[in-house]
Amino acid sequence: MNKNRIFYRISQFFSVIFSKPDKNQLLIVNEVLDPDQLELFIKLQSSEQMHAIHTMTKVEALGFTNSEYLKAALLHDVGKIVNPLTLLERIMIVIWRKLFPKSFENLSDKDLEGWKRGLVISRDHPKWGAELISNTDLPESMIFVVRNHHQRELQTEDVNAKDFFLALKSIDDMN
């Protein structure tokens, strides 16, 4: 890891500790999400809300301005409300992904109770989020993107969903 990347990760660490959406950001979220989606979003940790808002802003800047894209960007990590991450688990995930990227596939649901808890949450939150948002008015194509946003590629014939997936994944991977 180069020096700039290390400083970026340190600054990211402190921004996670202190980040919280302001009133204007929450007003925008309130305009984008339907009440049932907003109810889910509000349950996210403040740092996750900020990440979601940042992701939505970047997605929109890339031209994905349709409300379904903005909603999916805001809700892509909503599965983390099922099992919120601690700060130490977040740190461990970043390090573990760098050192052992393929090991996430070998985790079991039993690992949710042990020291690998954060790793299981990192792996499974897209699935949990897709289940949560399936009860909202988000189109199935966007639920599919949320469910698979940590995959290497999206297996779909829907070109729009695939383009959005690539943008969302790129933005999400930078954070």
**CB burial readout 3-27, b (16+ within 10 A) else e:** eeeeeeeeeeeeebeebebeeebbe
3-state secondary structure of 166: helix
Distance CA 6, CA 9 (A): 5
Q: What is the pLDDT along the chain (175 residues), one digit of tens a residue?
A: 566 766 776 676 666 666 789 899 999 999 999 999 999 999 999 989 999 999 999 999 999 999 999 999 999 999 999 999 888 888 888 788 778 877 767 766 676 778 888 888 888 999 999 999 999 999 999 999 999 998 888 888 878 889 999 999 999 888 7
Largest Cα–Cα separation, the chain: 44
Domain boundaries, the chain: 3-174
